[in-house]
């Protein structure tokens, strides 16, 4: 069977960028604090990723001093972050079920039609493209983790399958993919912070991916790999603080 994503590795610079991203993430996993388990790093990374993901959507990413989160986007992103580890087995086996659950968690404070929660839009080619994405996640490709994770992320941003909280869902699915592919098995990195710091570039690159042109797809893959490296640096700072 032909690997549908293998041609992406022939795009200029993509294979090298993926290798560089992988090396940066693996180096974080070898830090002493993370070799001992990395639970503290992963917990802080989870919160930072949720805050940044909400911030990309225009929400205020700061956690209230009272501890009571009232912003619906931030609240949804935090619920998603808390659920990711438990959703990993479902993501590996039945990714569309995991996506539905992610949407329920992310959008429950955002939609008035509760029947729409977890239900992808039926219009256009949303269904077939989600099915193809599910096949990729469950083994139809052998490309490196940074490439598959970027494709999952970019495709969900392009599809906007639910019509609400799609960005939060896409970035959460990318985190699941990073863990499942072995790119970031302990979920230590925080590429979302890099996206948040460069939102215009992030949106521009995502639009390029959705165009489907070789240049657009290549630019998204390279940008994503840069974000993984930046996310590894964020993880190192967390690890250093954790001691």
Terminal CA-CA length for the chain: 47
Q: In this structure, what CATH number is given to the domain that contains residue 102?
A: 1.10.3290.10
Residue 209 lies in a domain: yes
Q: What is the value of pTM for the model shown?
A: 0.96
Report the pLDDT value the prediction gives residue 191, as an integer from 0 to 100.
98
Residue 64 lies in a domain: no
User: For 9-28, b where at least 16 C-beta lie within 10 A, e where not — what string?
Assistant: eebeebbebbebbbebbeeb
Work out how many domains the chain is built from and give that number.
1
Residue 1 lies in a domain: no
At 52-76, the pLDDT tens digits run: 999 999 999 988 877 789 999 999 9
Q: How confident is the model at residue 10 (pLDDT cuts 50, 70, 90)?
A: very high
Residue 23 lies in a domain: yes
Residue 32 lies in a domain: yes
Domain that holds residue 95: 6-59+70-242
Residue 108 lies in a domain: yes
- Give the mean pLDDT of 203-227: 98
**CB neighbourhood size of 216 (10 A):** 18
Residue 95 lies in a domain: yes
At 168-200, the pLDDT tens digits run: 999 999 999 999 999 999 999 999 999 999 999
Q: How confident is the model at residue 243 (pLDDT cuts 50, 70, 90)?
A: low
Residue 78 lies in a domain: yes
């Amino acid at each position: 069977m032909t690997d549908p994503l293998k041609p992406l590795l022939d795009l200029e610079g993509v294979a090298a960028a993926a290798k560089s991203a992988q090396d940066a993430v693996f180096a974080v996993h070898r830090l002493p604090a993370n070799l001992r388990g990395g639970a503290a790093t992963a917990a802080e990374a989870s919160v930072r990723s949720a805050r940044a993901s909400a911030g990309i959507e225009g929400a205020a990413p700061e956690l209230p001093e009272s501890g009571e989160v009232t912003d619906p986007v931030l609240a949804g992103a935090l619920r998603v972050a808390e659920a990711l580890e438990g959703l990993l087995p479902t993501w590996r086996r039945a990714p569309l079920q995991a996506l539905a659950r992610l949407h329920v968690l992310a959008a429950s404070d955002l939609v008035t039609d509760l029947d729409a929660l977890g239900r992808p839009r039926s219009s256009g080619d949303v269904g077939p493209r989600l099915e193809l994405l599910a096949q990729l996640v469950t083994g139809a490709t052998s490309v490196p983790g940074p490439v598959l994770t970027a494709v999952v992320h970019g495709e969900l941003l392009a599809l906007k399958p639910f019509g609400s909280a799609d960005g939060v869902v896409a970035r959460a699915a990318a985190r699941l993919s990073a863990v499942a592919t072995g790119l970031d098995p302990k979920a230590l990195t925080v590429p979302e912070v890099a996206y948040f710091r460069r939102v215009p570039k992030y949106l521009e690159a995502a639009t390029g991916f959705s165009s489907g042109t070789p240049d657009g797809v290549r630019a998204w893959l390279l940008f994503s790999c840069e974000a993984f490296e930046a996310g590894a640096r964020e993880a190192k700072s967390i690890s250093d603080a954790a001691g």
